[in-house]
Chain A
Amino acid sequence: KQEVTQIPAALSVPEGENLVLNCSFTDSAIYNLQWFRQDPGKGLTSLLLIQSSQREQTSGRLNASLDKSSGRSTLYIAASQPGDSATYLCAVKEGGSEKLVFGKGTKLTVNP
């Protein structure tokens, strides 16, 4: 059974700092991995999707990497801003299934 773990569960940083969020998964047979952002009480916003054949994806200040063999992904946020404060969720799409398996998220607070 696929399990996704995100570390740390919560992170508080000063504005301007570069930071890394970690995601690990137990079964490397995945189609893709997605990083989402969730604001309190709201739905999810897709940030980056990495196909299983890819190693990384970049969008603006965000960079996500994928190492399938070791079951790890990282989300790098450069020059963090207070508006980046949210919960960041990692999810993998399993091979042979359309369902996403989510981690419990990392709650990020960027202090002005």
Chain B
Amino acid sequence: EAGVTQSPTHLIKTRGQQVTLRCSPISGHTSVYWYQQALGLGLQFLLWYDEGEERNRGNFPPRFSGRQFPNYSSELNVNALELEDSALYLCASSLHLYGGRQETQYFGPGTRLLVL
């Protein structure tokens, strides 16, 4: 069974540009999560999508946005890139059982973004 996949693996952009990162969850998983891992800051929660809807959002500005498609894949968009957006962006997926057993989040390999 294929794991979580992300594209591209690496990306270099300049300040002010826009970027789109992509994530395909494990087959059957309906929830997709995005995290940012910036140097020295640890992993920070960005966004959670389930069944096509944004369910929760971390403490990030509105220029970080995304969406989830009917096939449960997801995009993360970052507008007006700033130098501090340089980070490893990780996507995770899980089954989501409302009121039920909490499921493990499975992580993809990440997209490394460098903003110059």
Contacts and interface: CB of A to CB of B under 8 A. Distances in A.
Interface of A: 31-32, 34, 36, 41-46, 49, 51, 89, 91, 93, 97-105
Q: What DSSP secondary structure best describes chain A's contact surface?
A: strand
A78 to B, nearest CB: 22
A41 B35 CA distance: 14
A99 B59 CA distance: 12
Interface of B: 4, 31, 33, 35, 42-45, 48, 50, 55-56, 58, 88, 90, 92, 96, 101-102, 104-110, 112
B56 A98 contact: yes
Contact of B107 (A44, A49, A99, A103): A44
A97 B33 CA distance: 12
Given A99-B48, A102-B43, A32 B102 contact: yes
Contacts of B96: 98
Given A32-B102, A49-B104, A51-B101, A42 B109 contact: yes
Contact of B33 (A45, A89, A99, A105): A99
B102 A46 contact: no
Contacts of A49: 102, 104
Nearest to A6: B42
A103 B42 CA distance: 7
A22 B17 CA distance: 41
Contacts of A42: 109-110
Contacts of B44: 102
B42 A102 contact: yes
A68 B107 CA distance: 25
Given A41-B112, A44-B90, A51-B102, A99 B58 contact: yes
Contacts of A104: 42
Nearest to B44: A102
Contacts of B105: 34, 46, 100
